[in-house]
Amino acid sequence: MLNEGLATTPVVASSILPALGNLRSLKQGREVHGYILKRGFESDVVVICSLIEMYMSCKSVSVAEGIFETMHHRDCMVWNSMIAGYSVNNDQDSAMSLLRQFWKFELQPNYITILTVLPLVTEEGNLRHGKEIHGYVIRKDLVKVVSICNSLIGMYSKCGYLDGSIKIFDRMMSKDIVTYNTMISAHASHGLSEHALFFFEQMQGSGIRPNKVTFISLLWACSHGGMLHEGLSIYNMMMEKYRIAPEIEHYACVVDLLGRSGDLIGAYEFVQKMPMRADENVFGSLLNACRVHKNLEFAKVVERQIMKGNSNQLGHHVLLHNAYASDQRWGDALMIRKAIKEKGLTKDPGSSWVQIGKSFHVFHAGGWTHPQSSDVYRALDDLFAEMTDKGLMSTSNEAARALITPV
């Protein structure tokens, strides 16, 4: 465009930057930034927001912060871009700190701001921050916005405070399909399968038509609640009454439903009749059922089926490893781990966290990043030793220690 002698406008510049951010093309992004300064577009708010988003997407947080700090006039769009950028970089503390600064100005955060920061709070499971945002929503009368209430329901559920989700639901004047899907999923994840079905009945009574997401949550609820007949009935209802074609997620739920009930053969035959090849989740449900019901011979049948597709997916190996480990077949489990290393299969190590006061402590499987890692591993060694003394573990401490490192 420049070679043709055509003038670039702020609209063109602000359209290019998001694409460069998605591609993580920092070098080209800087070139566009230089051109913007040369043409005097830096006074355009939309262009500045696009620059902030581009740098945030490229992990150049300090540059984005510098642009933000030098701005004399910041409207909601600019603040939202910065908060969204921190969210993209999983920096909850900075997002919340900026949000608190935003609250102090006459120009108040809008519903887009709230919908930007709530998912980050939900992902981190930070109930204290979630309640802080909820308080602001109440003060500014944003509780009438259905999408915000839906996000709050999900936040409270995933933070373990289901009563908070129920209170919001009961007070909502208007509800949509996302509201009901979120409530069904929330109760399913908390092991309240019958309550999940109750909200489905409410949904039907309100005249809202369920979608494929609804049925994934319902099937999952029935699977984890041991409700075999109800789950199969819902699966048939999805196809016959609502004419929704099953997708791979629905098939995985049905396989899990049958497997958890102990019908491993029925689950395997169901997989064989699927119109598409089973993916990692479907085979994972089968292998998990084999582990739960301690049927390792059937697990080997499933393993052979997986290998027919020349699968080198780490998830399959991990599930087979866990099946052996749950049956205390430590030698076989370690052989699977050896195969994983030989094939060069890797994944991000699992992690967990605990909040003590205002501090978060994050632990990674087999990691040594926490300052008290040595104390943690000493405590694990003591536990393994005690378990071995009581006959609860038929392997050496060294073998057990190997099994807690990331596969």
Same domain, 305 and 361: no
Q: Is residue 354 part of a domain?
A: yes
Residue numbers of the domain that contains 52: 1-73
Per-residue model confidence (pLDDT) at position 359 = 64
User: Residue 397 has what pLDDT?
Assistant: 41
User: In the structure, what pLDDT confidence band is assigned to residue 18 with cuts at 50, 70 and 90?
Assistant: confident
Establish if 198 belongs to a structural domain: no
Kindly state whether residues 332 and 370 are assigned to the same domain: no
The pLDDT value recorded for residue 385 is 84
pLDDT digits (tens, 9 = 90+) for 334-385: 887 887 777 777 665 666 666 666 566 767 666 777 788 888 888 888 888 8
Domain termination residue (choose one: 119, 145, 174): 174
Residue at a domain's end among 347, 368, 396: 347
Q: Parallel, antiparallel, or unpaired for β 351-356 and 359-364?
A: antiparallel
Number of domains in the chain: 4
Q: Is 187 part of any domain?
A: no
Spatial CB neighbours of 361, under 8 Å, sequence gap ≥ 6: 353, 354, 355, 370
Distance, CA of 272 to CA of 293 (rounded, Å): 21
Determine, yes or no, domain membership for 21: yes
Q: Which of 144, 174, 204 is the last residue of a domain?
A: 174
Residue 287 maps to a domain: yes
Looking at the fold, whether 314 and 334 belong to one and the same domain comes out as yes
Question: What residues contact residue 314 under an 8 Å CB cut-off, 6+ apart?
Answer: 340, 345, 346, 347, 407
pLDDT, tens only, 123-182: 877 888 899 999 999 998 999 999 999 999 999 999 889 999 999 999 999 999 999 999
The pLDDT of residue 26 is 92
**165 vs 323, which has greater pLDDT?**
165
* Same-domain check for residues 157 and 100: yes
Section 379-396 average pLDDT: 75
> Is residue 379 in some structural domain?
yes
What share of the chain has pLDDT > 70, as a percent? 86
Give the pLDDT score at 92: 79
pLDDT at 350: 62
pLDDT in tens, 205-256: 999 999 999 999 999 999 999 999 999 999 999 999 999 999 999 999 999 9
Q: Are residues 368 and 342 in the same domain?
A: no
| Residue 331: per-residue pLDDT | 81
Q: Would residue 65 count as lying in a domain?
A: yes
- The pLDDT tens digits of the residues spanning 48-93 come to 999 999 999 999 999 999 999 988 888 888 999 999 999 888 887 8
pLDDT at 308: 66
Q: 201 or 279: which carries more pLDDT confidence?
A: 201
pTM above 0.85, yes or no: no
